Amino acid sequence: MIELNRKDTSQPVLSVSNLSKKFGALVASDDVSLEVYPGQLHALIGPNGAGKSTLIGQISGLLSVDYGEISLVSTNISNFSPERRVHLGLGRSFQISNLMLEWSARRNVMLAVQAKQGGSFHFFRNVWKDESLRAAADIALAEVGLLERATVRADELSHGERRQLEFACALALQPKVLVLDEPMAGLGPEGTAAMTEFLEQLKSRIPILLVEHDMDAVFRLADTVSVLVYGKIIASGTPAEIRSSRSVQEAYLGNSDSAA
């Protein structure tokens, strides 16, 4: 493994250290360590089956950790429930759109605001007329540019709009860090360009761990790129360093035109 230089010495927002996970004989995560620093975007790339989804699963709490530690700011969250991690500020988006399809866009975001505010065991006050929820939801919708579509049911939104709506939900939770699982997937060239621009703006405010196959977007957005192959991080460094790394070329980018 090549250790490429790490420039930032400030406290990481999210740090994964020596994480390992086995499914039977298959090693899905092999001593993985990575950090996400304030104001930065850390991209995680790797071929299919490299263990990216397993890693995201462990970070978000859907999969248990065999060995190693995941810390959010300075709290060890390795054994926390997914919900508790969200409350502590771990935001995430899904590879496949994941929304309340029967609800309007606004209601989807209102649920996120409600989760942030608490009170899901309040039984009497009308939730849909709650101004504090509506106002916060509309701010998040405006932020992703979806405010004029607030009353449209999620299943009537376009694929790109659903992605925006997921971001609105994630932002409404005011996360300390965002873990994004292929946000460009299924978006056309225009959608990808718009999403890239959006993430560029967002990362200065909320640090991001990005798993993405679109190499143009990755190399444009990332401050740090880590390459995961067979559950192991084989290289980590600036986009320029990763591009010129021989072992990365061989293992992953070598025969791919999209890397150029």
Give, in order, the Cα–Cα distances in Å from 33 to each of 92, 144, 194, 213, 243: 19, 32, 31, 20, 20
Decide: is 157 part of the binding site for another protein (CB under 8 A): no
Nearer to another protein by Cβ, of 103 and 198: the residue is: 103
The SS3 call for residue 227 is strand
For the CB of residue 5, give the shortest distance to another protein in the complex, in Å: 35
Per-residue contact flags (x/-) with another protein for residues 49 to 78, judged by CB under 8 A: -----------x------------------
With binding defined as CB under 8 A, does residue 148 bind another protein?
no
Question: Smallest distance, Å, CB 147 to another protein?
Answer: 14
Q: Looking at beta carbons only, is 152 or 259 nearer to another protein?
A: 152
Kindly tell me which of 86 and 235 has the beta carbon lying closer to another protein.
Answer: 86
CA separation for the pair 183, 48 (Å, rounded): 16
Q: Which of residues 180-219 bind another protein (CB under 8 A)?
A: none
Q: Under a CB-based contact definition with an 8 Å cutoff, are residues 70 and 80 in contact?
A: no
Among 86, 136, 206, 242, binds another protein (CB under 8 A): 86
List the one residue out of 181, 168, 159, 183 whose CA is nearest residue 105.
168
Distance between CA atoms of residues 39 and 202, nearest Å: 9
Q: Is 87 in the site for another protein (CB under 8 A)?
A: yes
Nearer to another protein, 101 or 240 (CB): 101
Q: With beta carbons less than 8 A apart as the criterion, state whether 241 and 254 touch.
A: no
164 lies in the site for another protein, by CB under 8 A: no
From 68, 153, 232, 238, residue interacting with another protein (rule: CB under 8 A) = 153
- Compare residues 102 and 200 and give the one whose CB is closer to another protein: 102
Supply 157's token pair. 């939104």
| Cα(127)–Cα(109) distance, integer angstroms | 12
Helix, strand and coil in the chain, % to nearest 5: 40, 25, 40
Residue 87 or residue 220: which is nearer to another protein going by CB? 87
Question: Cβ-count burial of 257 within 10 angstroms (0-12 exposed, 13-18 middle, 19+ buried)?
Answer: exposed
Separation between Cα atoms, residue 192 and residue 253, nearest integer Å:
21
Q: Binders of another protein among 99-138, rule CB under 8 A?
A: 99-104, 106-107, 110-112, 114-116, 119-128, 130
Q: Which residues bind another protein (CB under 8 A)?
A: 60, 81-84, 86-87, 92, 94, 98-104, 106-107, 110-112, 114-116, 119-128, 130, 151, 153, 169, 173
